[in-house]
Structure 1
Amino acid sequence: MNTKPSFTSYDDMRANYRLRCPDDFNFAYDVLDAKRPDQSAMIHVDDTGVRRDLDFGFFQQGSRRLANALTGRGVKPGDRVMVILYRRVEYWTAMLALHRIGAVPIPSPSLLTTKDIAQRVNYAGITAILCEDSITQRVDAALPDCPGLHLRVQVGGAPAQGWLDFEAIMAQASPECPRTPATPGGPDPLVIFFSSGTTGMPKMVVHNHKYPYSHYTTAAVWHDLNPGDIHLTLSDTGWGKSVWGKFYGQWMADAVVFVWDFRGKFEADALLRVMAEHRVTTFCAPPTVYRFLVREDLSKHDLSALRHCTTAGELLNESVFHAWHKALGLPIYEGYGQTETTLQVATFPFMKPKAGSIGKPVPGWDIALLDESGKPVPQGEEGEICINIDSPVLGLFDSYMDEPEKTASVKFDGWYHTGDKAWADEDGYLWFMGRTDDLIKSSGYRIGPFEVESALVAHDAVIEAAVTGVPDEVRGQIVKATVVLAQGYVGDEALTKALQTFVRELTAPYKYPRIIEYVDELPKTISGKIKRKEIREADLEKYAV
């Protein structure tokens, strides 16, 4: 890429920032192969603490060999390939190899069950799979129900029966893989992501080869990366967020991708130790992670190398923002996007962050807040976040795979409808309210769950909270909170009254939860997002009027 852009203000960026992606762009050829082979690309730390420093030459050679090995075994442009590789180095090699071929990777989370694998293989028409040895038994158990799955490649361990060994097939392949006139790029399909599925069966989101180019903004501007920076985005490779922060944009910005391949339960103290030991300079994680981090003694860890922090995925609680800033002197810059998009809205380093706001629209994304009739709402009123698609939008998904009706249900009348609600303040900052289905209508008021959740987690007793509406004869709905408590607290009547009073003091009185239910854990998708729909459905049975 060109020299990192520099802006004095948001208005300066809006006026002067444009991304112009080549028509035939292919990340593997146009970015990876343009790098010096000896330039640092990745620092990888495995679950035992072993560190590997890898240069671009490693990924250039490995992806070429793997592309040739797969092509020689029948993988061709357009084939759909499931990839389940945790945060292993081989994930990046596999993705790049498939980009060279024009086959379409489907990154998938390691928590998929045998049933999940069978459903998704058949739903997506997947013909090949690359996965690590700990997953192969689940795939084999699904195999009788997956007649179209012809090629299986195992990473790590001695290959199971019927599986090819990843390293062995690479070793036998040629290291030459030149670009040809037939090499896919530009509008051709690049990758398919499963959506998080908070409201039903996950959709299959198709992005084309221009998609990575849009992530330059994510990395160079929002993450504020300089050449040589060590950037950590804490995301599993089974989700779209991993390519937001562990891949395309970071390498385009000449930063070093830091990967911590931890297994098992997330431990905040362990993450802080890793960040300190390896001198991570920029960091991105969902608000849930920051909520656990601020409960640690941050002064125990040398985080002096850390200079810039970002978050996305859900709303950042105001109390967490202030606690992090107080402890480290660093604000957290929030961003917003979806599996269907790249970064749409953000608070950039040259903007004053407002705790709880997702920021302002990214240049190239013509965003409006529309009411149910498709008209823009006045400043201060809630509306659906919609993207103007009268002309192509770099970074916006092409379609929901094989489901034109679902695509047409969100792309119509010149707009892509995100299904998310927000309002804009007098400075043009957007404030996220939640999914359309999550809004609570009580006594004529419309209440977004995130504001109430944010107030609850500001209390020392609360680790996590999910706020929903339950039926009420008088008010239509009343606010209910499902709460996970910190160690040492008991969910009794006294605590319930204390939490209700606490929320009333932080928000408008009508927003406090009239019902509080205490649970050991919240129902979540395998990407970690709260399943409010599942809570609502259970509440309908408990509290039906």
Structure 2
Amino acid sequence: MRTFIKSWIPQCLRILRSPCRSFHGNNRLLTSQIVSYYESINQCKKELPEYFNFASDVLDEWARLEKDGRKPANPAFWWVSDEGEEVKWSFEELGSLSRKAANVLCEACALQRGDRAMAVLPRVPEWWLLNVACMRAGIVFIPGTSQLTAKDISYRLQASKAKCIITSDTLAPALESVLPGSQFLRSKLIVGRGSRAGWLNLKELLAVASADHECVKTRSQEPMLIYFTSGTTGFPKMVVQSHSSYGIGFTISGRYWMNLTPSDIMWNTSDTGWVKAAWSSLFAPWICGSCVFVHNMPQFKPEVIAETLSRYPITTFCTAPTAFCMLVQHDVSSYKFPSLKHCVTGGEALNPEVFAKWKIQTGLDIHEGYGQTETVTICANMKGMKIKPGSLGKAVPPYDVQIVDDHGAVVPAGEEGTIAVRVQPTRPFCLFSQYLDNPEQTAASMRGDFYVTGDRGVMDEEGYVWFVGRADDIINSAGYRIGPFEVESALLQHPAVSEVAVVSSPDPVRGEVVKAFIVLAPAFVSHDPEKLTHELQQHVKKVTAPYKYPRKVEFVQDLPKTATGKIQRKALKSKEWARVRQGQE
């Protein structure tokens, strides 16, 4: 594989420089070569290389091409703050700094290959630096969002047996209350200008660290990352990803979903604790030799997003569907995005109404993709494909994606089931290794010959996959199975609806009924609630099947969201069921 990567990057560079940016000509040649390589691995015609390391086999290769003048002049990394501060690194500078950071981790923090380091950091350059440093040293990196509570951090430290905690000077005080009980913790590293008793300071240590560091020769299937992912019940699970699963697995989606080349500058707004940051702010762009653009952006503000897209030469933009919804409500049609040419989204389903409004306001399509912490991209609307608004697109190689029933049998086109990935006779190399220390959940994720995602969907005759909802989000009302997403999509087409979340509500007759929590657009806040409720119900009946209309509607000021901006239906559903059962309605 190392030979493949080294030969592929220069060839990739030559092909990507061509004006052809779709599935034809030379790009088709590159696609067929990579797809063939993926399929050869999955069909056991080729084995994964015994050794692979993203830092040495990919990043250092781009640094070499950069030094030889064979790569466009864009930086590898470009970070900006609200105050106008900027940090830019070339691939060569990233290499030198990450070697210093690797020495800091190994010497000052006394970490060894295979040890685990947890990082709770906002969007600061050091997050990227430490990611690469851990790859070089063979240390397993555990990202965590800065929105984690003390209880969350305590659980993660204990469950992961992390030996090092890394955080910012502003977050350190909140963490210290739980650190004494972390029996495996050996070192504490602080990022920022401030000093703190008992903490090592990364900036000070980097200033005196050597840039001489030999990258560890990691095995392809050796653990590289651990992400905590919330299940429908119980504590978060630890998803283990290997050096090859993410380090190689985003090649096709980076080039053909995100449409990235060495000339591109990609901005993904994801929080560093969300797996989408690894997808779209690290592996996919750097596989393609693109520039990773980052705005520190402590809070999501549509006007800041629009102004940044106007000011900087960003060519590819990725944000969550909820954020695209907020942007079209802000109305970005008055802004000029001179460099922007490709938009992608993922993490939750994109409503067709938002897709249409973004197209009207910017002239650009949104290419939706789908995957999980456990996977790389499963389905996507690739560059050059016909986009069916509301669809997740088609399967991305090397995955064989099917819709299966409760027994693991593939269902006919048009029939609802669970979105699944075939793992027999060969498990895709870019699927997660396991839920660490949780063999029961690992086994439960398999059904027959498939890994099951837990998401409900439908596949049409052309192979496009349509998201219905999480298995536990599905509303079963008098025998009718109703996906919240399609009801939300219908409501968002009404001008009164700014944001909406649809969940089930218990009902003595129907078992469950549809309830919509709605944030009104400013112009409708003063309207009569009863009349507006009726109007919205009639609207849904006209847009979709009448049985799907919300029998209950509640107008709210805002909706609960995760740190990454995804609406928390689960929180609303729990509150709703508890309230009704207690007879408070």
After TM superposition, the score normalised by the length of structure 2 is: 0.89
Kindly indicate whether residue 400 of structure 2 is the aligned counterpart of residue 384 of structure 1.
no
Kindly indicate whether residue 300 of structure 2 is the aligned counterpart of residue 266 of structure 1.
yes
Report how far residue 316 of structure 1 moved.
Answer: 0.6
2:353 partner SS: helix
Aligned match of 1:446: 481
Q: 1:341 aligns with which of 333, 354, 375?
A: 375
In structure 2, the CA distance between the partners of 1:12 and 1:167, relative to structure 1 (3 Å rule), is closer
CA offsets per residue over residues 299-321 of structure 1, 9 Å max, x none? Answer: 33211211111111111111111
Aligned match of 1:169: 205
Report how far residue 488 of structure 1 moved.
Answer: 4.0
Bigger CA drift: 535-544 or 218-227? Answer: 535-544
Q: 2:392 aligns with which of 348, 358, 363?
A: 358
Q: 1:287 aligns with which of 308, 321, 325?
A: 321
1:399 partner SS: coil
**Is contact 2:323–2:565 with CA below 8 Å preserved after alignment?**
no
Kindly indicate whether residue 456 of structure 2 is the aligned counterpart of residue 429 of structure 1.
no
**Is contact 1:45–1:51 with CA below 8 Å preserved after alignment?**
yes
Kindly indicate whether residue 244 of structure 2 is the aligned counterpart of residue 207 of structure 1.
no
CA offsets per residue over residues 348-385 of structure 1, 9 Å max, x none? Answer: 11111111000110121011111112211111110111
Map of 1:82-93 to 2, 5 A cutoff? 82-93=118-129
Map of 1:71-470 to 2, 5 A cutoff? 71-73=106-108, 74-179=110-215, 183-197=217-231, 199-210=233-244, 211-263=246-298, 265-390=299-424, 391-470=426-505
Aligned match of 2:60: 33
1:470 partner SS: strand
CA offsets per residue over residues 388-426 of structure 1, 9 Å max, x none? Answer: 112131321101111111111103533211111110122
Report how far residue 458 of structure 1 moved.
Answer: 2.1
Distance in 1 (CA, whole Å) between partners of 2:287 and 2:308 is 25
Provide the alpha-carbon RMSD of the alignment.
Answer: 2.1
Paired AA for residue 373 in structure 2: T
Report how far residue 457 of structure 1 moved.
Answer: 1.9
1:344 partner SS: strand
Distance in 1 (CA, whole Å) between partners of 2:430 and 2:78 is 27
**Consecutive unaligned residues in structure 1, runs of 5 or more:** none
Paired AA for residue 77 in structure 2: M
1:116 partner SS: helix
**Is contact 2:408–2:449 with CA below 8 Å preserved after alignment?**
no
2:206 partner SS: helix
Distance in 2 (CA, whole Å) between partners of 1:526 and 1:510 is 33
Report how far residue 531 of structure 1 moved.
Answer: 2.6
CA offsets per residue over residues 484-529 of structure 1, 9 Å max, x none? Answer: 2223433711111121122112111111100011222223333333
**Is contact 2:257–2:380 with CA below 8 Å preserved after alignment?**
yes
Kindly indicate whether residue 551 of structure 2 is the aligned counterpart of residue 535 of structure 1.
no
CA offsets per residue over residues 63-96 of structure 1, 9 Å max, x none? Answer: 1111112111320111111112211111111011
1:276 partner SS: helix
2:293 partner SS: strand
Aligned match of 2:541: 504
Paired AA for residue 247 in structure 1: L
Map of 1:61-80 to 2, 5 A cutoff? 61-73=96-108, 74-80=110-116
Report how far residue 19 of structure 1 moved.
Answer: 4.3
Report how far residue 22 of structure 1 moved.
Answer: 3.5
Bigger CA drift: 479-488 or 3-12? Answer: 3-12
Bigger CA drift: 450-459 or 408-417? Answer: 408-417
Bigger CA drift: 385-394 or 349-358? Answer: 385-394
**Is contact 1:196–1:525 with CA below 8 Å preserved after alignment?**
no
Report how far residue 478 of structure 1 moved.
Answer: 1.2
Distance in 1 (CA, whole Å) between partners of 2:353 and 2:176 is 47
In structure 2, the CA distance between the partners of 1:527 and 1:204, relative to structure 1 (3 Å rule), is farther
Distance in 1 (CA, whole Å) between partners of 2:414 and 2:447 is 25
CA offsets per residue over residues 333-357 of structure 1, 9 Å max, x none? Answer: 1110001111000111111111100
**Consecutive unaligned residues in structure 2, runs of 5 or more:** 1-8, 17-21, 39-47, 68-72
Distance in 1 (CA, whole Å) between partners of 2:214 and 2:574 is 54
**Is contact 2:270–2:564 with CA below 8 Å preserved after alignment?**
no
2:218 partner SS: coil
Distance in 1 (CA, whole Å) between partners of 2:533 and 2:195 is 54
Query: Percent identity, aligned pairs only?
Result: 40
Distance in 1 (CA, whole Å) between partners of 2:78 and 2:441 is 40
Paired AA for residue 559 in structure 2: L
**Is contact 1:286–1:312 with CA below 8 Å preserved after alignment?**
yes
Report how far residue 538 of structure 1 moved.
Answer: 2.1
Paired AA for residue 538 in structure 1: K
More helix per residue: 1 or 2? 2
Aligned match of 2:522: 487
Bigger CA drift: 41-50 or 204-213? Answer: 41-50
1:283 partner SS: strand
